[in-house]
Amino acid sequence: MNNIFVIGIFLAFFLQFLLFSKKQKTLSDRILGIWMFVIGLHLFGYYIYHMGLWEKFPHLIGITHPIPLLHGPLLYLYVVFSLRRDQQFRWKDFTHFIPVVVAYLYMSPFFFYSVEKKVMVNHNEINDFYTFMLVSLVAFIISGFTYPILAYRLIGRFEHLIHSNFSCDERINLKWLRYCIWGLAFIFITVAVFLSFSMF
């Protein structure tokens, strides 16, 4: 299991490096690069938890908890800017990140807890964040289902245009977008089921 985490972390950061070192980067390339970084960071969070480092370094507890709220928006925006000719970020595009900002703001008192108190929260000896954990789980599930559906519908709208006006390479890119959507949806379903069983 540790090797799988290490390989996943390495691949995510390596792909991020390739995307950011690419010449003539599009906005979709930058978004994909950021997403690869987020995936690497998320996997690293699971890795340090799996290695038991939360017990040795309790201040690491919870630092990556809201990150699942980033995957859906980044997937959706990657699809949007892969299809949109306008490569400018608009203010409404930033609204997709409001949930993760709110989550970190809500968790901010926890980050200033003492080591002992953080460990007690992690072991459910203190229920300060139990409701937040339930709400965030629901938010993860909603985000994990909603954004792939929105992205898939967006591709459907552009499909006839792509097939009639774009090259074979663009059609392959369309398949790549579909694979991203299916992959993320599958991961979210798997994680949601696992977290649901682990919490109840």
Residue 168 confidence (pLDDT): 47
Residue-wise over 53-64: b if at least 16 C-beta within 10 A, else e?
A: ebeeebeebbbb
pLDDT value, residue 58 = 85
Has residue 143 got a pLDDT over 80?
Answer: yes
What digits encode the pLDDT tens for the residues 144-177? 889 988 988 888 777 666 555 554 445 446 677 7
Q: State the number of CA atoms in the 13 A half-sphere of 61 facing the CB.
A: 24
Decide: pTM greater than 0.75: yes
Residue 37's pLDDT is 94
